[in-house]
C-alpha cells in the first residue's frame, strides 16, 4: 500500500486542491478533494448503514496544516483525509487504540474498492506506532478514483421507500446507484433529470430544484430528508403554510447544518443570507429570497473583507461569519 510520501506526490500540491463540500447523513459537513468526493460518499453510506453518526462539532476533513508530530504536510492538506468524531476516537501517541467505531464498520470501509479493484481507504486506528482512530485516508490515486467506486463493495443499507430517513443526502456531483434511483423517481413524477446515468449533474439538480419549488420546500438543489419525504410519499403541490414537511425555523441554527447556497438558489435561507449581508453593511439588492447577481456580488465582497475563500458560495465558514454580530466600525 502506498506511503504517505507517495500519496503527497500523487495528490500535490498541498493546500490548493479543488474541493467539494459534502453533507453527511447526520447533517455534518466535510470538505474534501473533488476527485475523492465519491469515495467519501461511500464512507458515509457505510456509516449510515452502521447507524454511526458523524458529529458536526468534532468531524472535519480538509485543513492546510503540517502532519501531527512531523514536518511534511498532512494528507488533510490534499483533501484526501477525514477525521470523524475525534472526541471519542482520539489520536494516541502511546499506541493504545481508543474508539467507538464498530469493527465491522471499519472493515467495511477498508474493504471499499474502485471499479479497477484498487483499495480506496486506510484507517488510522490500524497504524502501528500511533493510533489515530478518528482518521480515514485515501490510498488511491486520482486516476484510479476517476474510474469510479465499485458500489458492490460498499456495505450500505438498501433505502426503504417507506422510510425516507434511510436514504442518503445527495447533492451536485454525487454518483452511484442511489442517484440513479433519484433520477428515476424525478422522471416518474414529471421532472426531467436528464440522462438517467447515476451522476448528479446540472440537469438533475435543476429537476430537484423544480420539484422542491413545486412542493413548497427550500429550493437548494440538495436532496435531504425533507425532499426525500416529499418524493417518496407523493406529497402533492401544496402552499408553503400547509406543507406536511416539518422544517427547522430556528434563527440560531448551527452553521454546520445550514444549507450550502449559491447563485440560482431560492428560499427562506437565501432571505436569511440577504438579511445578514445587510446587517454587515453589504447590499444584496432586494430581500426576496432569490440568490441573484446582486446577492452574489455582496457575498463576494463580504468574503473578501472576512478573508474567506472568495467563491460566492455560502458554505459553513461564510454562514458562521454572517451569523456573527457585525464588528463596530
CATH number at residue 289: 1.10.101.10
CATH number, residue 30: 3.30.1380
247 inside domain: no
**Residues of the chain falling short of pLDDT 70:** 69-70, 238-257, 327-329
Specify the pLDDT at position 329. 45
Q: What is the pLDDT of residues 275-309, one digit of tens each?
A: 889 888 899 988 888 889 999 999 999 999 998 88
Q: What is the pLDDT of residue 327?
A: 66
Beta pairing partners, 131: 92
The answer to whether position 328 is within a domain reads no
Q: What does the pLDDT read at residue 17?
A: 87
Interatomic CA distance for residues 24 and 21, integer angstroms: 10
Whether residues 27 and 113 share a domain: the answer is yes
135 and 174 housed in the same domain: no
Identify any residues that bridge with 137 across adjacent strands, giving them in sequence order: 81, 122
| 109 within domain boundaries | yes
What pLDDT does 145 receive?
96
Cell 483525509 locates to: 81
Domain co-membership, 54 together with 14: yes
* Whole-number pLDDT of residue 66: 84
The pLDDT score that the predictor gives to residue 246 is 46
Rounded CA separation 175/173 (Å): 6
**Total domains in the fold of the chain:** 3
Rounded to whole angstroms, the Cα distance separating 57 from 177 reads 30
63 and 115 fall within a common domain: yes
User: Which domain, by its residues, includes 70?
Assistant: 4-152
**Cα separations in angstroms, 27 against 21, 209, 253, 308, 315:** 12, 20, 12, 23, 13
Q: What angle do CA 136, 142, 147 make, to 5 degrees?
A: 100
What are the phi and psi torsion angles at 13 (to 5°)? -85, 160
Model's pTM, two decimal places? 0.71
Residue 24: closest CA among 42, 1, 5: 42
Beta carbons of 121 and 138 less than 8 angstroms apart: yes
Q: Note whether 170 and 111 are same-domain residues.
A: no
Amino acid at each position: 500500500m502506498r506511503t504517505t510520501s507517495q500519496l503527497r506526490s500523487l495528490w500535490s500540491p498541498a493546500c490548493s486542491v479543488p474541493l467539494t463540500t459534502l453533507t453527511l447523513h447526520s447533517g455534518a459537513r466535510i470538505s474534501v478533494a473533488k476527485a475523492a468526493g465519491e469515495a467519501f460518499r461511500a464512507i458515509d453510506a457505510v456509516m449510515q448503514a452502521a447507524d454511526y453518526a458523524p458529529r458536526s462539532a468534532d468531524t472535519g476533513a480538509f485543513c492546510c496544516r503540517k502532519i501531527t508530530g512531523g514536518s511534511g504536510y498532512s494528507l488533510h492538506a490534499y483533501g484526501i483525509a477525514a477525521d470523524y468524531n475525534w472526541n471519542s476516537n482520539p489520536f494516541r501517541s502511546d499506541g493504545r487504540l481508543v474508539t467507538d467505531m464498530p469493527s465491522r464498520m471499519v472493515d467495511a470501509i477498508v474493504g471499499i474498492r474502485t471499479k479497477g479493484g484498487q483499495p480506496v481507504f486506510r484507517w488510522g486506528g490500524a497504524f502501528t506506532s500511533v493510533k489515530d482512530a478518528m482518521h480515514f485516508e485515501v490510498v488511491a490515486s486520482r486516476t484510479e478514483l476517476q474510474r469510479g467506486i465499485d458500489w458492490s463493495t460498499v456495505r450500505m443499507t438498501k433505502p426503504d421507500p417507506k422510510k425516507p430517513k434511510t436514504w442518503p443526502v445527495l447533492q451536485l456531483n454525487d454518483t452511484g446507484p442511489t442517484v440513479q434511483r433519484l433520477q428515476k423517481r424525478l422522471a416518474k413524477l414529471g421532472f426531467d433529470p436528464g440522462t438517467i446515468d447515476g451522476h448528479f449533474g446540472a440537469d438533475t439538480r435543476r429537476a430537484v430544484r423544480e420539484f422542491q419549488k413545486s412542493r413548497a420546500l427550500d429550493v437548494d438543489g440538495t436532496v435531504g430528508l425533507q425532499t426525500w419525504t416529499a418524493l417518496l410519499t407523493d406529497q402533492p403541490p401544496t402552499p408553503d403554510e400547509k406543507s406536511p414537511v416539518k422544517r427547522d425555523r430556528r434563527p440560531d441554527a448551527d452553521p454546520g447544518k445550514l444549507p450550502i447556497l449559491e447563485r440560482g438558489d431560492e428560499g427562506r435561507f437565501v432571505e436569511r443570507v440577504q438579511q445578514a449581508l445587510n446587517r454587515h453593511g453589504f447590499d444584496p439588492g432586494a430581500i426576496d429570497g432569490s440568490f441573484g447577481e446582486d446577492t452574489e456580488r455582496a457575498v463576494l465582497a463580504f468574503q473578501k473583507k472576512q478573508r474567506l475563500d472568495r467563491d460566492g458560495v455560502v458554505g459553513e465558514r461564510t454562514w458562521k461569519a454572517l451569523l456573527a454580530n457585525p464588528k463596530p466600525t
